Chain A
């Protein structure tokens, strides 16, 4: 029961929180970048997800989700899209700080 929210908590929220706790000062310098990337992720992935559900590529079922739906998607999907985006962007920023080249 509610396994999807539990999975989000264990496997996305926890690692994201740990990265932010240990690298808060560095990541805060890139607030605009993280915001733009998160908006971009939602802009591409939400329509993709809606079409995928309409085309029956994947589907969701109670009691594994909370049962709160928005635009045909469970609320957990929005958290997944946002947190995978932020996790990937945070890892990229930390690598950029070490190996990145502006020119």
Chain B
């Protein structure tokens, strides 16, 4: 549908919308724990960037060249690097939101 921007559009839509919803509804708590989110995202980002070249080289999956920008980091599309950054931010935010909600539920 979006041609060579398809992968980029999907990464942005499926990551930024959940991140936006979590931050809009739990801004103060997540802001107070920005350091935890930043460190968790950085650790997972580095780990996924280090291990993904093996996944590409071992042919775990294949990318269609007409669905991404065509810019590569090592041997994976640049959109994949964005995926490795935004997905851990989303999961770290979701984990902290769950800790917060479980804590609130425990006090009721």
Contacts and interface: CB of A to CB of B under 8 A. Distances in A.
Contacts of B92: 88-89, 91-92
Interface string B64-104: 10011000000000000000000110111011101111110
Given A96-B96, A102-B103, A52 B44 contact: no
Interface residues of B, number: 44
Given A33-B99, A41-B91, A92 B40 contact: yes
Shortest 3 CB-CB distances between A and B: which pairs? A3-B58, A88-B91, A4-B60
Interface of A: 3-4, 6-7, 11, 15, 30, 32-33, 36-37, 40-41, 44-45, 48, 51-52, 55-61, 64-65, 76, 84-85, 87-89, 91-93, 95-96, 99-103
Interface of B: 1, 6-7, 10, 14, 18, 29, 32-33, 35-37, 39-40, 43-44, 47-48, 51, 54-55, 58-64, 67-68, 87-88, 90-92, 94-96, 98-103
12 contacts: A3-B59, A4-B60, A36-B101, A44-B14, A45-B14, A51-B10, A52-B7, A60-B62, A64-B59, A88-B91, A95-B40, A96-B36
